Structure formats: C-alpha cells, structure tokens
Amino acid sequence: MQLSVVIPFLNEAESLPELVQWIERVMMENNFSFEIILVDDGSKDGSWKYVQQICSEKQNIKAIKFRRNYGKSAALNEGFRQAQGEVIITMDADLQDSPDEIPSLYKMITSDGYDIVSGWKKKRHDPFSKTIPSKLFNRVTRSMSGIHIHDFNCGLKAYKKEVVKSIELMGEMHRYIPVIAKWAGFTNITEKEVTHYERKYGKTKFGLERFINGFLDLLTISFVSRFGKKPMHLFGSLGMLSFLFGLVVSAYLTFAKFYWQEYKMTERPLFYLALVAMIIGVQLFVAGFQAELISRSSHERNLYSVEKKLNLQ
C-alpha cells in the first residue's frame, strides 16, 4: 500500500464527509493505493455515526474511537500504530488542510528521500491571536531543536513508515514529532509551503493556553530526549557542582577561622550558604540515582482507552 492518511478529529461531523470525498478524489486521480484512518478523539456531536456508515460501505476507510477525549497525540499515536502505507500523511479534519497537497508530499518522501516533510502555512487564515504567538513559538522551537522549519504546528505532514513506527507520542507532544524523530535518528527533515484555507465549519478547538503548554512540552521533551536514558549525567553534574561549591566555601571559612582569627564560622552568612549547597548537592545525587533506577525499570505508554475499531484487523 502506498499511502495511509491519518486524521484525528473531535466534533467535526460537518466537515468529515467533504474531507473524505476530497481525499478519495485526489487518490483516484493519481492512482494511489491508500487507506484513510479516522481517529475519533471522544466526539460528542454525532461524528461517529457518519464514520460508522462510511466504514460499512468502504473497506479502505478505517476508524478508531476513544472512550473520551485524550488529545491529539494519543489519536495520532494510535493511528500510526494501525497505518500500513509506505508513506503516512497526517492532516486536520477541519478542511483547512488541502488533500491536493498529498501527491507532492508523497513524491518528496519517495523520490527525494526525505524522512519527514512538514507543511508550512506561509499565508495563514487565522486571527492575530493565533498567528503572532505561533511565530514566537516556532522561532523558539527552531532555536532549541536545530530543525529549521517554519511551522511545527501544521497538521499536514508526510512521513516515511519507518519514522512513525520508531517513535511514540505521549502527553501533548504531537507538535514536536520532527524533534522526536530527529533525536531518534531521522535527520532528513524538510518543509513544503502548503495552502491554508479558512475554517468552513465549527470553531477552533485550541486556545492561547496551547502555546504556554507548548513551551512547557518543549522543555520536557528536551530534557527527556537528552537525559531520559542517563538522568545521572544531569543530576550528578549539578549535584557535584553544588557540593564542591559548598566544600570550597567551608574550607575557606575554616582557614579564615584558624589562621586569621576572624568571626565565628556560624556568624557568617557564607557558612549557611555552604551548608545548604552541600545538602542540595547530596540530594541531587540521590535524585540522580533514583531517576536511573526508574528509567531502567519503567516503560512509559500512552494511557488511553480505545472503545471501537472499524475495518481494522
């Protein structure tokens, strides 16, 4: 199979029929062998009724339903697990992403050899309350990750099958898939300018809080990717610096007490600073050892529940 199109959605009953027809038309025009995987992230508006109907009519449309809303990362992760195509396309269900981009994205993966092609909504049809924070967010992410793409948040992306089968999404890490993939060894990442349409139905599911959460997630993924398998390297280094600082200050105070007959050690603020630094250093060492034990014995997984799967073997 050439293509798998993974579409997470939440309360998109109005847009789903049009989107599915649009994708099918593009696939037929280009003679692609394909599957569409619809992941219902706890919709309450009747979206699942349409999905059940379309899945009963067409075997190449598959669907997964979560018992409640677990977030886009969980939806994409489950869709990636089920995808069988050599190239996996992701897109949002709100009709702001264009399926007409699929052939060129597919070519960039198969012919040009890229691991990931990320869409770039250069001309966006969103209010300033979304575009300005998004530009700031993308600039910080580029700087911290070293991946020079303009739009990490774009839902329209293409991946080699090996990429999505080699990573796991947790929490709200969907916006950082290129970052996760890079640290997994898939470094051939590029972007393509794509068409962005105005929202036709409903309203956006994301508010300004997603940018705050986004920065926190970036810090988390930076820490986990660099120190998740070797936490002692971080905590041990910080603990050593803190302990040595306290030790040097204590040695200085001891020297001053016996050779210069200055104030009593306990009367100097530096004494308490040195004491606290040594205590913190020991605590950081202990935290590092505990983190090492946890990292070697635990297996983190997305904790979400799947209620129904249609056309999935």
Lookup: tokens for 221: 């993924």
The structure tokens listed for 3 are: 């293509």
- Structural domain includes residue 275: yes
Residues 137 and 190 in one domain: yes
* Residue owning tokens 């994301």: 206
> Based on the domain organization, do 57 and 153 belong to the same domain?
yes
pLDDT for the residue 131: 67
Q: Could you tell me if 140 and 28 lie in one domain? A: yes
- Secondary structure class of 87 (helix, strand, coil): strand
Written as six digits, the tokens of 183 are 């640290």
b/e code 70-107 from CB counts within 10 Å (16+ = b)? bbbbbbbbbbbebbebbbbbbbbbbbbbbbebbeebbe
Q: What is the residue type of 194?
A: V
If asked whether residues 68 and 111 sit together in one domain, one would say yes
**Domain-terminating residue out of 210, 227, 244:** 227
Residue 55 resides in a domain: yes
> Listing from the earlier edge strand, what are the strands of the sheet with 306-310?
189-193, 116-120, 157-160, 87-90, 3-9, 34-40, 61-66, 306-310
**Residue 128: per-residue pLDDT:** 60
The reply to whether 209 and 274 lie within a common domain is no
CA atoms within 13 A of residue 188's CA, in its CB half-sphere: 12
Instruction: Burial-class residue 287 by CB neighbours within 10 Å (0-12, 13-18, 19+).
Output: middle
Q: Do residues 277 and 246 touch, judged by C-beta distance below 8 A?
A: yes
Question: Are 201 and 264 part of one and the same domain?
Answer: no
175 and 73 share a domain? yes
Domain span holding position 285: 231-297
Are residues 51 and 153 located together in one domain of the fold? yes
Please indicate, yes or no, if residue 310 is contained in any of the structural domains: no
3 state DSSP class of 208:
coil
Sign of the C-alpha dihedral, residues 166, 186, 104, 133?
positive
The verdict on residue 311 lying in a domain is no
Non-local (6+) Cβ contacts of 307 within 8 A are 65, 66, 67
- pTM equals 0.75
- The pLDDT of residue 304: 60
Are 136 and 114 found together in one domain? yes
Is 313 inside a domain boundary? no
Residue 309 is predicted with a pLDDT of 78
Query: Which CATH number does the domain housing residue 134 bear?
Result: 3.90.550.10
Asked if residue 163 and residue 114 are part of one domain, the reply reads: yes
* CA angle, 173 then 176 then 178, to 5°: 140
Closest CA to 189 of 159, 169, 209, 222: 159
215 within some domain: yes
Low-confidence ranges of the chain (pLDDT < 50): 300-303
pLDDT digits (tens, 9 = 90+) for 40-49: 999 988 899 9
Could you give the number of structural domains in the chain?
2
User: CA end-to-end span of the chain, whole Å?
Assistant: 15
Tell me, yes or no, whether 37 lies in a domain.
Answer: yes
The answer on 281 and 236 residing in a single domain is yes
Q: What is the pLDDT, as a whole number, of residue 46?
A: 85
pLDDT in tens, 239-263: 999 999 999 998 888 888 777 666 6
Same domain as 249, residue 165: no
Q: Is residue 308 part of a domain?
A: no
Instruction: Mention every residue, 6+ apart, whose C-beta is less than 8 A from residue 122.
Output: 150, 193
